[in-house]
Amino acid sequence: MSKKLIHGLFDDDDILMDGVKAVRQKGYEIDEVYTPFPIHGLDKAMGLKPTRIAYASFAYGVFGLLFASWLTWYMMISDWPQNIGGKPNQTWLQNMLAFTPIMFELTVFMAAHLMVWTYFFKNKLYPGQKAGNPDPRTTDDMFMMEFIFEGDSTELESILKESGAVEVNVKEIKDTTGNQLWFKIPKTAVVLIFALSSLTSCSSSDEPQREPNTVYMPDMYYSVAYEPYSADPNGVDGMEARIPADNTIKRGYVPYEIPDTNEGYQEALDSLKSPIATTDETLKKGEYLYNIYCISCHGINGDGQGKLVQNEKYLGVPSYAPSRLPNITEGSIFHVETYGKNMMGSHASQLTSQERWKVAQHVLKLRSQLK
């Protein structure tokens, strides 16, 4: 016996609900209901299970949170720690406040997008999919119950009519050639993607620019007033800036007169002494600063095995150990902190001279613990 497709059409959602209940009471299973809008309670009346898509979304959100935590940890702590704003930068937890926005955004991003993808996937919705409703009126103002029925359907038809269906259609199902590919990429999409990718792959030429660009912030370059170090016909010595009075220093600055030369280095090594005594307090401060400004290269023990060295971002950072650097003193350490040496840059703009002395104390302490 062939199968029949029975469609009961209703013109009101409340009548439909009563109809669904009536049909189910008589022991018929409804195969599908098509409605133009969501009807609260219809899923329960039809005996559908509640959807679990919200739990999926929760799982995606957890994934997003973990992913963001890993991303920030890997990039900012593990692979290439950076000293930002003089804040401790070696542990993730200490910087977590700054990562919280990213963690939040990625949680929402994953929870929302992956959930919607799941929704499309489960509903088999994609561009190019054929309209799934058998009657176009079900997106307008008609509600339809669908049965795929085998056998005598007169009772069902009469139940439908009794419960207020405005139309009952019965159709024989003839062709049931299955195995249709449910997912088919439309040709237009392929063409579009191809066109887009060929457009974007046009690279710019390597020709050098003939004219310089317009200057960004012109009055930074071309000041109305005389530039501090420019010529000035009205100035003393024909110069805009005045030479400061002898022995002038800027406020709070402690002059450091040893020059940045090999001789200077030797002089600092031999004769420069710290003006501050080593106490527990200065050592503690020195350690604190070291662990922000030096640790990434020199390592927590001063063995030259900081994260950047371990990750091979920089090489050749020496250990402070007497065996490796037999000839260093607090004076030479201070000198190097002030001017930098080889790959190492100057830290004079980041640390005051007092702070540099304290760091030097800590470096010596580390050195004494190394072999």
Partner 1 sequence: MYKISKNLKTLSFVLMAVGILSLAFGFMTTPSSVEDVKHQMEQHNNHDADVVEHSEADADHAVVKVNDHHDEAHAEHVFTQMKNRPWAAFYVSALFFFFLALGAMAFMAIQYVAQAGWSVVLLRVMEAISSYMIVGGIIVFLILVAGGLHMHHVFHWMDASLVDPLSANYDPIIDGKSGYLNVPFFLIRIAVYMAGWILAYFLLGKYSTEQETSGDNKPYNKAFKASAIFMVFYGVTSSTGAWDMVMSVDPHWFSTLFGWYVFSGMFVSAIATIALVTIYLKSQGYLEFVNPSHIHDLGKFMFGLSIFWTYLWFSQFMLYWYANIPEEVTYYLARFADYKIPFWTMVAINFAFPVLVLMDANKKKFPLTMVITGVVIIIGHYLDVFVMIMPGSVGSHWGFGIVEIGSFLGFLGLFIYIVFTSLEKKGLLAKGHPMLKESEHYHYYNLEHGDDH
Partner 2 sequence: MHYESDIREPLILGDKSYGDITRDVAAPVEGKANKMWWFVFSLALIAFLWGIGVMAYTVGTGIGTWGLNKTVGWAWDITNFVWWVGIGHAGTLISAVLLLFRQKWRMSINRSAEAMTIFAVVQAALFPLLHMGRPWLAYWVFPFPNNFGSLWVNFNSPLLWDVFAISTYFSVSTVFWYVGLIPDFAMIRDRAVKPFQKHIYKIMSFGWSGKAKHWQRFEEVSLVLAGLATPLVLSVHTIVSMDFATSVIPGWHTTIFPPYFVAGAIFSGFAMVQTLLIIMRKVVSLESYITIQHIEMMNIVIMLTGSIVGVAYITELFMAWYSGVEYEQYAFLNRATGPYWWAYLSMMTFNVVSPQLMWFKKLRTSIMFTFVLSIIVNTGMWFERFVIIVTSLHRDYLPSSWSMFSPTYVDIGIFVGTIGFFFVLFLLYARTFPVIAQAELKTILKSSGENQKKLHKHE
The residues that touch partner 1, with contacts defined as CB under 8 A, are 40-41, 50, 54, 58, 85, 87, 97-98, 100
- The footprint of partner 2 on residues 208-237 (CB under 8 A) is 213-220
Among 1, 131, 243, 245, binds partner 2 (CB under 8 A): 131
Considering beta carbons, is residue 218 or 252 the nearer one to partner 2?
A: 218
Phi then psi for residue 70, to 5 deg, are -65, -45
CA nearest neighbour of 339 among 324, 325, 351: 351
The entry of partner 1, partner 2, none that residue 33 binds, CB within 5 to 8 Å by partner kind = partner 2
Looking at beta carbons only, is 44 or 113 nearer to partner 1?
44
For every residue of 170-239, DSSP letters joined together read EEE---------S----HHHHHHHHHHHHHHT-PPP-PPPSSPPPPSSHHHHS-SSPPTTSB-TTSGGGB
10 binds partner 2 (CB under 8 A): no
HSE-up (13 A, CA, CB side) for residue 124:
8
Does residue number 193 form part of the binding site for partner 2 (CB under 8 A)? no
3-class state of residue 313 by DSSP: coil
Instruction: Give least dist CB 370 to partner 1, A.
Output: 29
Nearer to partner 1, 119 or 226 (CB): 119
Residue 114 exposed, middle or buried by CB count within 10 Å (0-12, 13-18, 19+): middle
Q: Between β-strands 143-150 and 167-172, what pairing exists: parallel, antiparallel or unpaired? A: unpaired
Two tokens, residue 91? 């542990």
Write down the least CB distance from residue 246 to partner 1, Å: 35
**142 SS3 class:** coil
* Smallest separation (angstroms) from partner 1 to the CB of 84: 10
Dist. CA 293–CA 98, nearest whole Å: 19
The smaller minimum CB distance to partner 1, of residues 40 and 187, is found at: 40
Listed ranges 132-140, 172-180, 250-258, 284-292: which one lies at the site for partner 2 (CB under 8 A) = 132-140
Is residue 315 involved in binding partner 2 (CB under 8 A)?
Answer: no
User: Under rule CB under 8 A, which residues in 33-72 are in contact with partner 2?
Assistant: 33-43, 46, 48, 50-51, 53-54, 57, 61, 71-72
Q: What burial letters (b/e) apply to 231-259, b meaning 16+ CB within 10 Å?
A: ebeeeeeeebeeeeeeeeeeeeeeebebe
Which of partner 1, partner 2, none binds 136 (CB below 5-8 Å, type-dependent)? partner 2
Which one of partner 2, partner 1, none interacts with residue 162, CB within 5 to 8 A by kind? none
Determine the Cα–Cα distance for residues 297 and 347; give it in Å rounded to an integer. 14
Contact 309, 315 (CB under 8 A): yes
For the CB of residue 83, give the shortest distance to partner 1 in the complex, in Å.
14
Neighbours of 322 (CB within 10 A): 13
Q: Per CB under 8 A, which of residues 65..124 are in contact with partner 2?
A: 71-72, 75-76, 79-80, 82, 84-85, 95, 98-99, 101-102, 104-106, 108-109, 111-113, 115-116, 119-120, 122-124
> CB under 5 to 8 A by kind: which of partner 2, partner 1, none does 316 bind?
none
